[in-house]
Amino acid sequence: MIEYEYNDIYKLFDELLLIINENHPDIDLEPIKHAFEIAEEAHRPQKRLSGEPYIIHPIKVAIILAKHSLDASSIIAALLHDVVEDTVTGLESISDSFGAEIAHLVDGVTKISSLKNRTKSHEQAQTLRKMLLATIDDPRVIIIKLADKTHNMRTLEFQPPHKQNRIAQEVMDIYAPLAGRLGMSKISSELEDLAFYILHREAYTDITEKLTKQEEELDEYLNSIHAILKSNIDKMNIRASISGRIKHLYSIYKKMVHQQKPFEEIFDVRAIRIITEEVKDCYAILGIVHTIWPPVPSRFKDYIAVPKSNMYQSLHTTVTGPGKHFLEIQIRTEEMDVTAEMGIAAHWMYKESGKKDKSQMTDLSLLQNINKWRSELNDTREFMKVLKMDLYSDEIFVFTPQGKIIRLAKGSTPIDFAYAIHSEVGHHCSGAKINHKIKPLRTKLENGDIVEIITNPAKHPSDNWLKIVRSSNARYKIRSWIKKQQPTDSDEIHKKNRPAQKSEPDKMASFTINTEELSKITSSKNTGKSDIIVDNTMNVPIRLALCCHPIPGDPVIGFISKDKRISVHKKGCPSLKRLNIEPERFISIAWSDSNHMHPVKIAIEAIDRPNLLADITTELSQSKINILKLEANESKSGFAVIRLVVEVKSIDHLQFIIERMKSVKDVIEVYKLKEKVIKRK
Ligand code: MN
């Protein structure tokens, strides 16, 4: 029996070595073998619920990472990731054997594991997700943890049913969105589908069965699309690989729920991906696609020009394909495709030195490689820094003794914490234990502290507290309490101070303003004169090109289309070059310098929180920016997407607006939407 198990283990470990060796023959396997020996010995007495020896799990986690081409340190840390938590082997001995970097990775993974079971409600999950990122300074920790989760989810059947549900829910709430946030779409899709199977078994089986029934038809459809695209792209002498796929199950399910339609009515289960060599080819292919099938208005997204914050780049368009089926098409370069699937992990993929001309590798190229590697590392650090600043610049997360997470402003003290729990706890707060030790009330709390408040009914707020507290909530409550004690003296002070407090409900209400007024503005703007001066020809219908979306300030060029309109493109718009237009149809045009305002639609992606809309609208009004329209919806994952139409004078003005919006707390990303809002005849 035991003999058999050991054979099994070694076979699996050999498989890992094989994958590493196939992808990257120049990785040194010795430290990996050493890590395996240590982990195997440490876990030897343990078994998984499946009855397998425990070491199978870390090897499989390492295999997931090796298949993703991650570097040797990640693979070693994966082999050791449960050693500290589950066995007597300490972090120090790992540090002695493998160095500080690997010890740091193992420590990070262990820390995340110790956070489990603290996610009770949805809000908690959201907060935990932020905290995960805030307390981790090397993203490989998260990548290893995600691989760990993936393997645990694949073997979830061995857990008792109630545990399956809890784990799947946690994956759906935290780990899958986290993977998505970091751009690791491959892992996030797999996690979603695995959790979907546990949480909504019926829907899962239903969709699978229906897809299987239609398999042949879907295959045929995608094949015909493939053929049409291939012949058209070949004609233009562009090299591209085209693949068709069915979207992953959970994304189909989300569409059904979101659109409230049965499976039969969801048509965009099909998606096409076109991978090409250069950015200009992407736009050229986009032009080709749009000449074959009409694009669905407002579904075109240019993530090449404006990458997502997780670095994702691609063109997206939805067209009405054959049989009037909606068809989503993604177009991107090979490099973008790696980032799209691997996200942040792409930065830690093992890189072969001088892959193209190994024979000619000189000191110089080695130096260049090192420099490149270094600058990439810097970029990633920079990226994490920005990510963190966006998300948590001025917040910390601490725990109650029961494990509930409390979010506070950075620099908060136990008094802020007490008021965040309840006003009465605040008013009678007499002392605090931080991480089980009594500490002064003025102590600044840190991320992850466990805080316990000692109350005494005889204790009351004092003026001194106002110097200690950080949050406006606590400050306000302390002032109110003091005011109640001395109603006459301090009235004047409060009048001065009150307006500085954010009165949340009022501001929330203020954004619903002027929808009527603004419809007047928009209509008057749109019936007004054109903002474009055209040589010699006035009164020609003008439209702004959908491919490059010029706005006033952009250098532009026009061409007369077959239907006798002038189509305005940005100068150098790549789709223009590809259209093979006769030179005489080009016409030089310029923006008039009238002070016309243009309605421009922008999107703001943010972590949803109370007062978010109020803060955004306040920022806009303080910057004298007019909002014409505003729509906000909170996505299920706790992120809010706010779309607004603002009045924009010029490109510089738009940049200014975007910068202002980015300065609002919790805002992650702001960009101009590519939808056409500038209506012109
Ligand atoms: Mn594990």
Domain residue spans in the chain? 6-158, 208-348, 365-485, 505-526+596-681, 527-591
* Span from the CA of 395 to the centroid of ligand 1 (angstroms): 30
* Span from the CA of 150 to the centroid of ligand 1 (angstroms): 10
Displacement of CA 327 from its chain's centroid (Å): 24
Task: Give the separation between CA 469 and CA 418, rounded to whole angstroms.
Answer: 11
Q: Is 173 a catalytic residue?
A: no
Give mean pLDDT, residues 477-506: 53
* Span from the CA of 200 to the centroid of ligand 1 (angstroms): 25
Task: Give the separation between CA 65 and CA 195, rounded to whole angstroms.
Answer: 20
Q: 456 Cβ partners below 8 Å, 6+ apart?
A: 428, 430, 431
Q: Which of the two residues, 563 and 673, has the higher pLDDT score?
A: 673
Indicate if the pLDDT at residue 287 is higher than 60: yes
Q: Give CA separation, 320 vs 215, 294, 522, in Å.
A: 21, 6, 30
Q: Which homologous superfamily does the CATH classification assign to the domain defined by 505-526+596-681?
A: ACT domain (3.30.70.260)
365-485: which CATH topology? Ubiquitin-like (UB roll) (3.10.20)
Which three-class secondary structure state does DSSP give residue 574? Answer: helix
Q: Which of 14, 85, 220, 394 is catalytic?
A: 85
Residue 546 has a pLDDT of 67
Indicate if the pLDDT at residue 183 is higher than 80: no
* Span from the CA of 54 to the centroid of ligand 1 (angstroms): 9
Helix segments in 402-529, DSSP class H: 414-421, 423-427, 463-468, 472-485, 491-497, 504-510, 515-527
* Span from the CA of 111 to the centroid of ligand 1 (angstroms): 12
Q: Which residue has the tokens 């991107």?
A: 332
CA angle 538, 541, 545 (to 5 degrees): 120
The model's confidence at residue 409, banded by pLDDT at 50, 70 and 90, is confident
Residue 415 has a pLDDT of 96
Q: Which of the two residues, 188 and 4, has the higher pLDDT score?
A: 188
Q: Which of the two residues, 586 and 220, has the higher pLDDT score?
A: 220
Tens of pLDDT, residues 244-263: 888 889 999 988 888 888 88
Closest residue by Cα to residue 252 from 203, 219, 190: 203
HEC readout, 217-284: HHHHHHHHHHHHHHHHHHHCCCCEEEEEEECCHHHHHHHHHHHCCCHHHCCCCEEEEEEECCHHHHHH
Indicate if the pLDDT at residue 494 is higher than 50: no
Q: Is 85 a catalytic residue?
A: yes
Task: Give the separation between CA 187 and CA 64, rounded to whole angstroms.
Answer: 10
Indicate if the pLDDT at residue 310 is higher than 90: no
Indicate if the pLDDT at residue 412 is higher than 90: yes
Which residues does residue 568 pair with via DSSP β-bridges, in sequence order? 544, 558
Tens of pLDDT, residues 516-574: 332 333 333 333 334 455 433 345 566 777 677 777 667 788 877 766 677 778 877 77
What does the block give as tokens for 381? 């650090």
* Span from the CA of 672 to the centroid of ligand 1 (angstroms): 42
Q: Which of 86, 123, 278, 335 is catalytic?
A: 86
Indicate if the pLDDT at residue 312 is higher than 50: yes
Displacement of CA 677 from its chain's centroid (Å): 26
SS3 content of the chain, % helix, strand, coil (to 5): 55, 15, 30
Task: Give the separation between CA 681 and CA 604, rounded to whole angstroms.
Answer: 29
Indicate if the pLDDT at residue 468 is higher than 80: yes
Residue 126 has a pLDDT of 58
Give mean pLDDT, residues 396-413: 79
CB 450 within 8 A of CB 417: no
* Span from the CA of 151 to the centroid of ligand 1 (angstroms): 8
* Span from the CA of 57 to the centroid of ligand 1 (angstroms): 7
Tens of pLDDT, residues 70-87: 889 999 999 999 998 777
Lowest mean pLDDT among 137-146, 172-181, 485-494: 485-494
Which residues does residue 315 pair with via DSSP β-bridges, in sequence order? 302, 331
208-348: which CATH topology? Beta Polymerase; domain 2 (3.30.460)
Taking the model in full, what pTM does it have? 0.54
Lowest mean pLDDT among 181-185, 198-202, 387-391, 665-669: 387-391
The model's confidence at residue 503, banded by pLDDT at 50, 70 and 90, is very low
Task: Give the separation between CA 188 and CA 342, rounded to whole angstroms.
Answer: 10
Indicate if the pLDDT at residue 640 is higher than 70: yes
The model's confidence at residue 172, banded by pLDDT at 50, 70 and 90, is confident
User: Which CATH code for domain 6-158?
Assistant: 1.10.3210.10
* Span from the CA of 85 to the centroid of ligand 1 (angstroms): 9
Residue 398 has a pLDDT of 80
* Span from the CA of 78 to the centroid of ligand 1 (angstroms): 8
* Span from the CA of 61 to the centroid of ligand 1 (angstroms): 8
Give mean pLDDT, residues 210-214: 87
Residue 139 has a pLDDT of 73
Residue 276 has a pLDDT of 94
Lowest mean pLDDT among 301-305, 317-321, 373-377: 373-377
CB 122 within 8 A of CB 169: no
